[in-house]
Amino acid sequence: MADTQIFPRFAGKTVLVTGAGTGFGAEIAVRAAQEGAQVAVHYNSSRAGAEKTLERIREAGSDGILVQANIGSWDQIKAMADAVWEAFGTLDVLVNNVGDVSSEQMSWRELTQESLDAVIDIDVKGTLLMTHEFGERMLEQGHGNIVNVGSTVIVRGSPRAPQYAAAKYGILGITKSYAKAFAPAVRVNTFAPGFMETERLLQREDWKSGRREVLISQTPMGHIPPPEFVAGTCLWLATDEAAHLTGGYMLADGGFNMVGA
């Protein structure tokens, strides 16, 4: 993978990334800081990870704040929004990254009521409530961008965890609905990364027992990247270059799916 040059696409901007204490969220937050943004780092339980992300943001020459909330709770989302606007005075970009992927589940037969409820509460209800609350405030200020992190799982489904595929498909409905509701002042899009070698994925039993090699053999680009490799692609949806793109679904999976129109 070649080194990429980083441009200050978010100089003077403010960005909130949910689930930014670990994995893809942390890399999106750091990349936004490298591109000039002040960043609000959201976490629910992984405060230590969020603090580490904030340290990396400061090492990148920017600054930010920590915000904590369970995004299954509208009241906690409202309180987080209050904290972000109090600290920054505005919010230019929201990246709804946080999500439950039921990573411990290896078969549809292992579905439980609890795992179904957890995924729907976070991935569907949480994404909808975040988009609703923050989008409404962005609309009031007259500008903003929302990027919902989806998944390529909607293309092929998931015999491993059907509730995960269902929830990610739900995000498309949320994205399209609010894209229409908030246009033209606020754009809403879905970014769908393919497999990324996060710590969570590296620990999954199926990943350690041959699935990684199978997927690489089916991926034209020939590798499964670390999350930082596609963080800039995710943020592109919130740049002026994407000014005429709303309600969209963009994949970055190394050519694995090559979805048609």
Q: What is the dihedral of CA 196, 28, 104, 220, to 10 degrees?
A: -10
pLDDT over 50 (residue 240): yes
Could you read off the pLDDT of 23-45 as tens digits, one per residue? 999 999 999 999 999 999 999 99
pTM here is: 0.93
What pLDDT is recorded for position 215?
83
pLDDT over 90 for what percent of the chain? 77
Which of these, 221, 101, 216, 121, lies nearest to 162 by C-alpha position?
Answer: 101
pLDDT over 90 (residue 1): no
pLDDT over 60 (residue 2): no
Between CA 162 and CA 169 the distance in angstroms is 11
What pLDDT is recorded for position 261?
56
What pLDDT is recorded for position 252?
92
Q: Which CATH superfamily is domain 14-251 in?
A: NAD(P)-binding Rossmann-like Domain (3.40.50.720)
Give the catalytic positions in this structure. Answer: 164
142 contacts 157 by C-beta, under 8 angstroms: no
Could you read off the pLDDT of 62-91 as tens digits, one per residue? 999 999 999 999 999 999 999 999 999 999
What pLDDT is recorded for position 179?
98
Which residue ranges make up each domain of the chain? 14-251
